[in-house]
Structure 1
């Protein structure tokens, strides 16, 4: 319980940050609590477990959470290594639709850097916003003014919302799921942004990149944030094996002088190997890359060390 209180104190700067009510409160072993993360969205707390906890261990942890912070609403996500394969057959076991503490809620609205996002805690393992991308989204917002943005694997379109808030001329969001794109449209409306269905495209990202390249379309900022593994009707993707090929396709639709924002959250992929794959992909596209910038999660709520390196890697390249 004392470790939970200490983690709460380490996030004081985020709790006091205007325009942000979504952050990671506990980041596993880096906070002395292995295999556990806790994410906060307004008053909602989402506890994720990354190994098989016994019922007694779960109850003890939730009791410590109550004693340390007294949160009004807690949801539980069980994420053992095989969770990706079980998600469709054991969803209620992995991600109960009801709160495990307090009253259940259908949704809450959380703030990040002045933008609002709809969080749905009972929708599955993912609740609508990946918090480790907060600093990268802020960077995109600063760079977006007057520019065109392509947001690939857009999920609920958080990059699109922040780019539009930053003054982007146009944002095209592409994701395989129409359901999450509609969620993204809701996020845009929450922020008073106009919604054009033509800018929310449901389809295979790889097919769309080839189509955009054939049409000669190009964008000033191309954000590539794929899942570590993805399967659609027409393609299969593994970040560890296929990122260079994805970078090639994405580089072909970056305008001259534009930027490729390549992201990867696969913990087992070393940063240097990731950067090499991105560079190889860009070169295969016949593009020259200028000086690169590496971004990543905020050290305030995603502390990293040699023992506990950050899973998220973000590489920004300017392409000639």
Structure 2
């Protein structure tokens, strides 16, 4: 229940106590990365506190931590290294604590990832609310080909590869993010299949994978051969503009989804996400269903995946919406 709009020792302890069983279970799965305090629900909107391996990470977006809140946070760190990032724009680096960079790796579901709390971008290198999706792909990937779109640091591709997917293709426009993914490879079990990193805007890559030629008016893009995949992971940002067009998951989700449907093989699976809090789950699923129908495919099964219990919500309406589709 939402209490005072501030972080207190009591509110943080309630959050930790509520996760005690989950943390025990995650430890048995070799997981050291999880959310410890979800401020939007647990008493301090605009604040999250996460464990990333050896790091105890607090992040704020609007109001900075007060001196009293910072003391609560530091006192709770225990043996972990406390790091505070204030992520309002423009970035107020003076609000960061500590100032010096910290190297760190953390574990999730037996995998090991780079989880440095400071790097070129602001987002963490591993999105914790996506764990449920990585867990599902790990179960399904063996012997299957996997396309990981908007791959970021490729944690999804890495867990699919280590689960012995036959082939994994990670696509992202940011070379720095793909470099993090490449560096994680030797940290983990080598899979039996192939693992590929492809730097490209996802729109032209999708068009080409679906066998469509690039519009002449568009800028040139790296060439990739048309192909199908057994599992397609579509995890796009809210809004992104490039010389190839606009990714807009609120106003035009079908532009992204339709080619994903087309390159998903018969009997294959499509994992689609929408991160926008204002988007209603049922309305978005209706868009997904219509897009699949227009692509002349049929949904054999649709399963809603929810973030795990370290991401509580008031009513089960999580900002991150995920569906796991089985196509005909």
TM-score by length of 2: 0.86
In the alignment, structure 1 residue 290 sits paired with structure 2 residue 300: yes
Aligned mates of 1:112, 1:183 — CA distance in 2: 16
Q: How many residues align?
A: 303
Aligned mates of 1:195, 1:100 — CA distance in 2: 42
In the alignment, structure 1 residue 42 sits paired with structure 2 residue 53: yes
Residue number in structure 2 paired with 1:87:
none
Match of 2:311 among 276, 284, 302: 302
Aligned mates of 2:179, 2:113 — CA distance in 1: 13
Secondary structure in structure 1 of the residue aligned to 2:168: strand
Residue number in structure 2 paired with 1:267:
277
Residues 29-54 of structure 1 deviation map (CA, whole Å, 9 limit, x = unaligned): 3222222111111221221213233x
Residue number in structure 2 paired with 1:205:
202
Contact 1:246 1:281 in 2 (8 A): no
Aligned mates of 1:256, 1:97 — CA distance in 2: 53
**Higher-helix-fraction structure:** 1
Contact 1:224 1:262 in 2 (8 A): yes
Q: CA deviation at 1:20?
A: 0.2
1:76-95 matches, within 5 Å, as 76-80=84-88, 83=89, 90-91=90-91, 93=92
Match of 1:113 among 89, 97, 109: 109
Q: CA deviation at 1:277?
A: 1.7
In the alignment, structure 1 residue 25 sits paired with structure 2 residue 21: no
Aligned mates of 2:322, 2:32 — CA distance in 1: 23
Residues 40-95 of structure 1 deviation map (CA, whole Å, 9 limit, x = unaligned): 11221221213233xxx432221111233446422233344xx4xxxxxx34x2xx
Pair 1:209–1:121, CA change in 2 (3 A):
same
In the alignment, structure 1 residue 243 sits paired with structure 2 residue 253: yes
Secondary structure in structure 2 of the residue aligned to 1:291: strand
Residue number in structure 1 paired with 2:215:
none
Residue number in structure 1 paired with 2:148:
151
Aligned mates of 1:195, 1:21 — CA distance in 2: 26
Aligned mates of 2:306, 2:32 — CA distance in 1: 19
Pair 1:118–1:79, CA change in 2 (3 A):
same
Match of 1:125 among 115, 119, 122: 122
Larger mean Cα displacement after TM superposition, 263-272 or 139-148: 263-272
Structure 2 unaligned blocks of 5 or more: 1-8, 212-224
Contact 2:167 2:194 in 1 (8 A): no
Structure 1 unaligned blocks of 5 or more: 84-89
In the alignment, structure 1 residue 174 sits paired with structure 2 residue 171: yes
Q: CA deviation at 1:274?
A: 1.5
Residue number in structure 2 paired with 1:86:
none
Contact 2:54 2:106 in 1 (8 A): no
Contact 2:31 2:107 in 1 (8 A): yes
Aligned mates of 2:167, 2:306 — CA distance in 1: 25
Residue number in structure 1 paired with 2:3:
none
TM-score by length of 1: 0.88
Pair 1:269–1:209, CA change in 2 (3 A):
same
